[in-house]
Amino acid sequence: MNLKPLFPSIALLAAGLAVAGGDDGPREVGRFEGIWKMCYEPGLERVVEIDSGYLVLMPGGRYYDVSASCCDIEGPDWELGDYDVEAEAIVLHRRRADGTAATMRLRHRPAVRAVFFDDPRGQPVRAEVLAAGESIDYGWCRAYPGPEGFTRSVAAPPAESAPNGR
């Protein structure tokens, strides 16, 4: 399922939720706030199916997640929850299908080679990533704001090379 047309809607929804939550106007964008787009390791070595989605981290510790697998005929899944920032990680507080609480810890990696869900065989870019494990597969790369704080660029600022080019 192509969620690319949903990008503007997600941005408007995030802004609307911030206003509805009592936002008093413009404020500085937090370190992790913004729109993150699902991304993968170049080569897709451990990927079974391409999932698509966006993670929107809003001011005030709320997040919005929309995602779908390639073959989901019911449409995308939507989730609204809370998050905390802990050192170099984001901790999402979510509910399982049975209603029980769950957390997901996403480690921040400032500059990683990645491909996006809508161009999985395209040229890798160096991007800022939130990932649950060592691999960034099924992680989120920053889509907005870009490194300048206001552009839609998906490339993170250059960083020193880490092992394996990550």
For residue 103, the model assigns a pLDDT of: 92
For residue 149, the model assigns a pLDDT of: 47
pTM: 0.69
For residue 147, the model assigns a pLDDT of: 56
Q: Return averaged pLDDT per consecutive 10 residues of the chain, 166 residues in all.
A: 50 47 56 93 82 92 83 65 93 84 93 91 92 88 72 40 41
Helices and strands (DSSP H and E) totals, the chain: 1, 8
Beta bridge mates, 112: 127
- In angstroms, the CA 84 to CA 153 distance is 25
- In angstroms, the CA 143 to CA 119 distance is 14
For residue 25, the model assigns a pLDDT of: 54
Domain boundaries, the chain: 4-20+32-82+110-165
Architecture of domain 4-20+32-82+110-165: Beta Barrel (2.40)
